[in-house]
Amino acid sequence: NTNKMIGTNSLIVRAASLLVAFAPISHSFVVPSAPHHVPRRVHLGSSNADTCIEPRLCSSSTSLSMTADAGIVEQLADPVLLQHIATGGALALAGDVIAQSLLSEVRPRSFPPEDWDKVRTAAFVAFGGIYTGGVQHFIFGFLNATFDEALVRLALAQFFFIPFCYYPTFLLMVPALRAGWESEDGFGSEEATLRREELFAETLSKIPSVLLRNWGFWLPVQFVQFNFVPVDLQVTYCAAFGVIWNAILSWSTSSTDAAASATEKNA
């Protein structure tokens, strides 16, 4: 029991370390947008004095550069961003434990399940904090600051960012973390490489069907989001629905696998 507790604590520490180390990287996924309280069409670099927020900042390129750097640092230290990262990680933890409980073959079922895959959960927590909490903080800020129509924001979120940002990031990140943490020899070992390739292929094969389910669930959810949910609450709103999405996806996948297994036995 002591060894299990030490192993669990080690995974949690690794996941938390990743959240701290990679949180700034989330800024690079999206072109930085103006802070939410700044009017959309006001730019520091404009030559028009009427659109310059601070006239003294427009006097030299050096001042503009220093202000831009300070703005990036300020955004990365934004308490709302840090809150979103923590919320994304916490809700990813809840979502994956619920999902594994639904899929567990051990009876009676428990929460967390007796066959809980803690490495998988740690990888999902890291992804939830970095992408769901961190990257989506900037994505939603960009969409809300740039596009007036809620339907345009919805279309870009679901038909651009999900297939071209969310899933590629998931494919590159989660299998690599799981493989590295599962291997006793670390991320660079042959064992970890083979396991990463196995997980990558397994996940990639499920994406087409999962993407269709994703649109069926998330299009109405994000329609409400972009029409009625305040910008600062949109990441939390999505992370909360992500718990429900994980449970539904796990249940439907489990049902499909069970049906396929029964068909094979009957054949």
Segment 13-43, tens digit of pLDDT: 455 555 544 444 443 333 334 344 433 433 3
Segment 119-135, tens digit of pLDDT: 999 999 999 999 999 99
Region class of 149: left (phi > 0), else alpha (psi between -120 and 50), else beta:
beta
- pLDDT given for residue 247 in this prediction: 79
- pLDDT given for residue 26 in this prediction: 40
Segment 88-105, tens digit of pLDDT: 999 999 999 998 888 888
Q: Which long-range contacts (CB under 8 A, 24 or more apart) does 211-218 make?
A: 211/162, 211/163, 211/167, 213/248, 213/249, 213/252, 214/158, 214/162, 214/245, 215/158, 217/245, 217/248, 218/158, 218/162, 218/245
State the average pLDDT over residues 171-176. Answer: 93
Distance between CA atoms of residues 172 and 242, nearest Å: 20
Tokens of 218: 């998330």
- pLDDT given for residue 250 in this prediction: 67
Segment 106-117, tens digit of pLDDT: 888 888 999 999
Classify burial at 186, counting beta carbons within 10 Å of its beta carbon; exposed 0-12, middle 13-18, buried 19 or more. exposed
